[in-house]
């Protein structure tokens, strides 16, 4: 790990984020992210300066435009006797493979680190989605449903998270992936930490945890081999005490939104480690927070962007069950 790898996320993140639009922030604080007023820029306009009525009018315009587009596509499909999927696929970009998807992300500046690029190329998204989905949908830069009320994040979000954590996903690193879902990001991080490292993925749905193991076995079976596999997936709730036996982690990725920064996860971060976690209320946009713990144990936070994630399971919810068989 490089000597400066514990430093704050001191650059502006400009990408959109899974399950919604992303708005970049520049805001650094020490162990706190309350009590300050932020100004978010949307399409060159300062959203704080827009009157509420104008913002509501803008959002209603987007909704009406989307409805008209859906009506037009459905009417065209009926007239031409073809499926809506065929029309949508014809209108989408040419991403029809993992390689073309990664190239698309590079063209738009979503991937800059060669290690991140190699990991994304090696983990094919189609193995983590329903087989019935056409490839023109599978390889689009958008979140998609994976069942149980969960989604797989948009590929640019995977690239963003891997990039933010890249210095902490060194060979031999110990990593926690909270809300591991389909297992896609766990597999990518497993390739980055190598056979000497370990990834613990925790998913609240036992059925999805089992499914994610099957997904990884189809895509990258070497990550599950041996007595001490690189990737381990368990079903459970990280806020319920299940992490007591797992030690500390060099990097923590949280793929679900917490109401506030969970102390239990901060405590599981090694000195010199980094965590990224969405924080905020359910059913609205949250903030993606970068949490750094310096070598002396001091904790720093920085807000990166606005995101929208499914909620993190509360301490009283869920059960802890192993699903590695």
- Active-site residue set: 153
Q: Which of 9, 34, 5 is nearest to 24 (CA)?
A: 9
**CA–CA separation, 67 vs 74, rounded Å?**
11
Helix 114-122 with 184-193: angle, nearest 10 deg? 130
Q: Which of 179, 228, 186, 173 is nearest to 202 (CA)?
A: 179
3-state secondary structure of 143: coil
**Distance from CA of residue 19 to its chain's centroid?**
9
Q: Which residues pair with residue 234 across a beta bridge?
A: 202, 322
Across the chain, the runs of DSSP E, i.e. the strands, are: 23-29, 41-42, 45-46, 144-147, 150-152, 174-178, 198-203, 231-235, 249-254, 269-279, 286-293, 299-307, 321-322
Q: Which residues pair with residue 200 across a beta bridge?
A: 176, 232
- What are the phi and psi torsion angles at 209 (to 5°)? -60, -45
**CA–CA separation, 321 vs 192, rounded Å?**
27
**CA–CA separation, 239 vs 315, rounded Å?**
5
**CA–CA separation, 124 vs 182, rounded Å?**
12
String of DSSP letters for 55-113: HHHHHHHHHHHHHHHHHHHHHHHHHHT--HHHHHHHHS-S--SHHHHHHHHHHTTS---
From the CA atom positions of the chain, what is the Rg in Å?
Answer: 20
């Amino acid at each position: 790990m490089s000597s400066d790898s514990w430093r704050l996320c001191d650059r502006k993140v400009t990408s959109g984020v899974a399950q919604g639009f992303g708005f970049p922030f520049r805001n650094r604080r020490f162990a706190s992210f309350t009590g300050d007023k932020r100004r978010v820029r949307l399409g060159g306009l300062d959203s704080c300066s827009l009157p509420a009525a104008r913002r509501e009018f803008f959002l209603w315009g987007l909704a009406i435009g989307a409805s008209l587009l859906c009506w037009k596509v459905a009417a065209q499909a009926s007239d031409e006797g073809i499926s809506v999927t065929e029309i949508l696929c014809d209108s989408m970009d040419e991403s029809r493979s993992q390689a073309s998807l990664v190239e698309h992300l590079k063209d738009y500046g979503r991937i800059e680190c060669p290690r991140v690029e190699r990991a994304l190329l090696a983990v094919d998204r189609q193995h983590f989605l329903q087989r019935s989905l056409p490839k023109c949908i599978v390889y689009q830069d958008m979140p998609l449903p994976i069942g149980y009320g969960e989604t797989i994040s948009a590929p640019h979000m995977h690239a963003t998270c891997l990039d933010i954590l890249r210095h902490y996903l060194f060979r031999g690193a110990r990593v926690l992936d909270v809300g591991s879902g389909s297992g896609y990001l766990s597999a990518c991080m497993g390739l980055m930490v190598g056979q000497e490292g370990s990834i613990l993925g925790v998913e609240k749905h036992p059925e999805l945890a089992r499914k994610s193991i099957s997904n990884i076995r189809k895509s990258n079976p070497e990550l599950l081999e041996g007595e001490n596999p690189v990737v381990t997936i368990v079903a459970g709730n990280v806020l319920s005490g299940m992490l007591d036996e797992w030690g500390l982690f060099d990097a923590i990725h949280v793929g679900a939104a917490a109401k506030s920064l969970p102390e239990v996860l901060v405590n599981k971060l090694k000195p010199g480690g980094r965590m990224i976690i969405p924080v905020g209320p359910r059913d609205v946009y949250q903030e993606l927070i970068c949490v750094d713990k310096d070598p002396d144990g001091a904790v720093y936070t920085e807000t990166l962007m606005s995101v929208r994630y499914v909620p993190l399971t509360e301490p009283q919810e869920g059960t802890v069950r192993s699903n590695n068989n």
